[in-house]
Amino acid sequence: MRPADGKMARIGVLGLGNWGSALALVWCKDGHNVLGWTVEQEVYESMMTVHENKKYLPGYQIQELDCTMEISDVTESCEILVLALPSSVILEVVDMLIPSLRPSHLLVDLAKGLAPAEEGGSGMISDAIERRLDDAGMSNQVVVMTGPTIAPEVARGVITNALVACHDIGVAERVAERLSTDSLILTPAEDPVGAELWGAYKNCVALACGLVDGVKDTIGGDNLKAALVLSGYSEGIELLEKMGADPKTAFGPAGIGDLYVTATSPRSRNRTLGEKLGSGKSLEESLEEMHMVAEGVRATRMFLDRAEGMGQPTPFLSTLGDLLDGSIQVEDAVRKMVGSYEVK
């Protein structure tokens, strides 16, 4: 969907993993001017020589995409800065951006995770970004973008609905109008806290659901996966509301929409990690086999830490944490997580 004045946006995509590359592709196809930034020499050379991210998004050429390894190139030429980065590194990149930010720059946070505990505040990545900006005397708007977005499907042009959330609903509406395409439908909302919390939490549920695929030859099956979704989703509704999420967000793209696709898609990183664990591999072995980041392990531990600080019981997450720590077997963990569901 192009803006009424017909002007294309100048978009900088910081981080060319599969999600950043997929967004760069759809926005280039829509006629926007897109510049991608990466710290990986392998990715940079692949994009510059064959116009394809062979490491993270093979099979899709992005002829119109320019690339750089200099972050100042992005701030000099772009107006919208899309932070397509894992939660573990996004704040470090923001620190790199701040010296060259202009007041007109708008930041779009795609990280589906929580900020480290030492960041304080609400625990949200977007809140940590805003506090860094405030400390630097800046007031740039920060928008959270999240939802059921399997990157290769977005790249293929599958119709996808995602949420763009901001404390200022007017900003969210303008971003949604500017960056929506025929296949990428962005819905504006004003609950960035809830959007970000659900974006992180659903990875925990997906990790648990992947266990079912790992034990498919014994106790695994669709009934069991549905039971785990129910237990995890129910616990999330209660926990995330107490952490500041608007209850309505649980029933939109950032909540049940993202949870459904991440828990069931064969392309989901967190479901895939859970499947490896369910098949008997250790956490270290499973992580070693994955070249893309699965946020569910870090998110599980961080949610458990926050819940403990609040005095909030989380039997589903606690059992998942025990499994990740190696103190419970897969079948016993699955049974405990299913049994944690209560009708309230």
- Mind listing the pLDDT tens digit for each residue in 140-170? 999 999 999 999 999 999 999 999 999 999 9
- Please return the burial class of 160, using the count of CB atoms within 10 Å of its CB with bins 0-12, 13-18 and 19+: buried
Residue type, 90: I
- Whether the per-residue pLDDT at 330 is higher than 60: the answer is yes
pLDDT of residue 2: 46
List domains and CATH numbers for the chain: 10-190 (3.40.50.720), 196-339 (1.10.1040.10)
Q: Which residues make Cβ contacts (< 8 Å) with residue 257, sequence separation at least 6?
A: 147, 148, 161
pTM for the whole structure: 0.86
Q: How far is CA 118 from CA 40, 103, 121, 123, 136, in A?
A: 28, 28, 9, 9, 19
- Whether the per-residue pLDDT at 72 is higher than 70: the answer is yes
At 165-216, the pLDDT tens digits run 999 999 999 999 999 999 999 999 999 999 999 999 999 999 999 999 999 8
- Whether the per-residue pLDDT at 245 is higher than 60: the answer is yes
Q: How far is CA 248 from CA 167, 190, 254, in A?
A: 15, 11, 10
pLDDT tier, 115 (very low <50, low <70, confident <90, very high otherwise): confident
At 254-277, the pLDDT tens digits run 999 999 999 999 989 999 999 999
Give a three-class secondary structure readout of 54-112: CCCEEEEECCCCEEECCHHHHHHHCCEEEECCCCCCHHHHHHHHHHHCCCCCEEEECCC
Based on the residue annotation, tell me whether 202 is a catalytic residue of this protein: yes
Q: Cα–Cα distance between 284 and 19 in angstroms, integer?
A: 24
pLDDT of residue 190: 93
- Whether the per-residue pLDDT at 326 is higher than 80: the answer is yes
Handedness of CA 302, 305, 311, 316 (dihedral sign): positive
Q: Cα–Cα distance between 227 and 239 in angstroms, integer?
A: 18
- Whether the per-residue pLDDT at 88 is higher than 80: the answer is yes
pLDDT of residue 343: 79
pLDDT of residue 6: 54
At 93-106, the pLDDT tens digits run 999 999 999 999 99
Average pLDDT, the chain: 93
pLDDT of residue 7: 65
Question: Which among 55, 112, 202, 225 is annotated as catalytic?
Answer: 202
